[in-house]
Amino acid sequence: MAASGATGSRPIRSARRRRCSMPLDATPSVVLKPLSFVSAFHEVRPLNPAYVERLRQKVRAIGVKPYPLSVTPAGLLFGGRHRYEAFKAEGITECLMHISEPASLDREAIELNRASEDALPMTFVDYAEMVWRKQAAGVTQKAIADELGWSSQKTNDYANLKRIAPEAWEVVSATLREMAETTTGEVAETKSATADFSERLLREITALAAHQQLDLVQDLAAGRINKNKFRAQAEAYRTRNAIQGWVRDQLGDIDPEIIDEAAAEVARGAYDAEWKAFAEQGTDLAKLNRLVEAARARFAKKHSLILIQGDFHEEIAKLGDASVDAVITDPPYRISTDRIYRLASQADWNKNFGAWDNQPEGEFLADIRRWAEAFFRVMKPGASGFMFVGEPYLNIAQALFDAAGFEIKGSFFWCRSNPGTSVTKADFMPAMDHAIQFVKPGARRTFNYPGEPEGFNWFQSPICGGHERLKTPKGETLHPTQKPEAVIRHLMDLISLPGDLVLDGFMGTGTTGKVARDTGRRFIGIEQDAGFFAAAKARVES
């Protein structure tokens, strides 16, 4: 055995048990060096302590085989890390080293591992984790493929394994390590023992939820299922995930408890066959539609009035597809102005209602388009709606709603029987408010024709006043464009029935919600302004 602390490089003339011997055909780059020459390690994969112990036992039994460690001239070990640790643990102080400076340490390490008869074989886990480390360091997949001599597809396959949840990946990794630790035969046996897990097999689960991935790899690792069952169960999970996504789209995110109940029903597998037939042949989803309607019925029973404070676009995205029976709404439509009126006998006066009604025109028109698209998604086929809009934008709003897919049924006018008088005497005093009527095609619509003269597209009513008009604590008007309940009730009676779900995306002080409550409709109202929302909540829920 070489003395501890030996230094330098020298040839070996005879083999000894505690020293590596020089093969007859060794090249000058293979030299005998002290283990202390190794000053750093190029980590290709994690060290396997069990395999180090196995190599130590082989050294004790048959001596040291003349396989050199691979080291750079600077002392960086990149091939033979397990042998290095075994030699060190056995007290071997010098061994053969192949000194070289390869262009790619990782590629060289992989090639050395494949060629060695005494190395722990690298697995797809090692390759995948190598790719992930390089990507984390900013290396592109193409550069990785070029460096390692792999195809772009092979590199991409390893990179995609990163989509497996860490808990599931640890089961796979630990299983392969355990195979190596418990195998007592030669390397060939280790390779065959790890055949159940493969990169190709794990592709089946990359799109699954974390808990589904974990269930499958645990079952396969424990021998409770085989690879065929693994694939079949993965396909079942994918199918049910797609069904659950469809159900969530129909129901929205308003009531998580009801959503979870429907998802649990889907997870039983009772709808798999219907969904596959729908995907392959375009057949009806009769059973699933009944599930959705049953969930909506539970929702309707549990929630008849829902008031939401928040941004319209964010909150309406949480509503289910085709879930609303009618829309009646009065969004801001740029009637506010900063213009100051100076009157000889009165204080200066303007119509500035605040930023909520003073949006730049380009943004306002873009919002109308977004409103139309959002309403189209949540309305049921055959559902109708009315949206109030300023006269300058009446035709534009109709065109944008038409582009979103609606049938435009014309305009509706609220004629004020007491419009007031002009303060400035400089402009006409508006006596009408305008609304567009729109219908989502695809089913017969509700239109409760009231007969003459109410069958005309106008309705006459005084403006809000008296106890109906909401005031601030100082006695000032709370909302400048509060609509009378009579007008909203007229519209609601025209396009909906008791029990229907009515949506107001710009609830204001809650007139639509109060009328819905009073007439036996269900209601969802969205309002961003905290003051208006508080007033609506007190009014609708009182």
Domains and CATH numbers, the chain: 27-121 (3.90.1530.10), 305-419+428-541 (3.40.50.150)
Query: How high is the pLDDT of residue 194?
Result: 41
- Cα dihedral 494/495/497/498 (nearest 10): -80
* Interacting residues of 143 by C-beta distance below 8 A, sequence separation 6+: 134
Taking alpha carbons only, the member of 310, 319, 302 closest to residue 254 is 319
Of residues 465 and 300, the one with the higher pLDDT is 300
Which two three-digit tokens encode residue 376?
A: 């189209």
Contacts 24+ apart (CB under 8 A), 129-132: 129/45, 130/44, 130/45, 130/106, 130/158, 131/155, 131/158, 131/159, 132/159, 132/162
- What's this model's pTM, rounded to 2 decimal places? 0.60
Q: What is the mean pLDDT of residues 196-212?
A: 94
Tell whether the model's pLDDT for residue 202 goes beyond 60.
Answer: yes
Q: Is the pLDDT confidence value at 227 over 90?
A: yes
pLDDT per residue over 236-282, tens digit each? 999 999 999 999 999 887 788 999 999 999 999 999 999 999 999 99
Reported as type and span, the H/E element at residue 459 is strand 458-461
Instruction: Give residues with Cβ within 8 angstroms of 345, minimum separation 6.
Output: none
CB atoms < 10 A from the CB of 219, how many?
Answer: 16
Query: CA angle, corner 269, sides to 264 and 270, nearest 5?
Result: 100
Q: Place 119 in a pLDDT band, splitting at 50, 70 and 90.
A: confident
What whole-number percentage of the chain has pLDDT above 70? 80
Q: State how far the Cα of 149 lies from the Cα of 527, in Å rounded to an integer.
A: 59
For 305, residues 6+ apart whose C-beta sits below 8 A from its C-beta are 513, 516, 517, 522, 523, 540, 541
pLDDT over 50 at 433, yes or no:
yes
Mean pLDDT of 2-24: 42
Higher pLDDT, 380 or 66: 380
> Which distant-in-sequence residues (6+ apart) come within 8 Å of 313 by Cβ?
370, 374
- pLDDT at position 275, please? 97
| Placement of tokens 């009014």 in the chain | 539
Beta strands in 251-364 (DSSP E): 305-309, 324-329, 337-341, 349-351
pLDDT in tens, 135-184: 999 999 999 999 999 999 999 999 999 999 999 999 999 888 777 555 53
User: Which of helix, strand or coil describes residue 120?
Assistant: coil
Q: What is the pLDDT of residues 22-54, one digit of tens each?
A: 444 444 589 999 999 999 999 888 888 888 998
Alpha-carbon gap, residue 223 to 104, rounded angstroms = 39
In the predicted structure, residue 5 carries a pLDDT above the cut 70 = no
Q: Please, are residues 349 and 284 in contact by the beta-carbon 8 Å criterion?
A: no
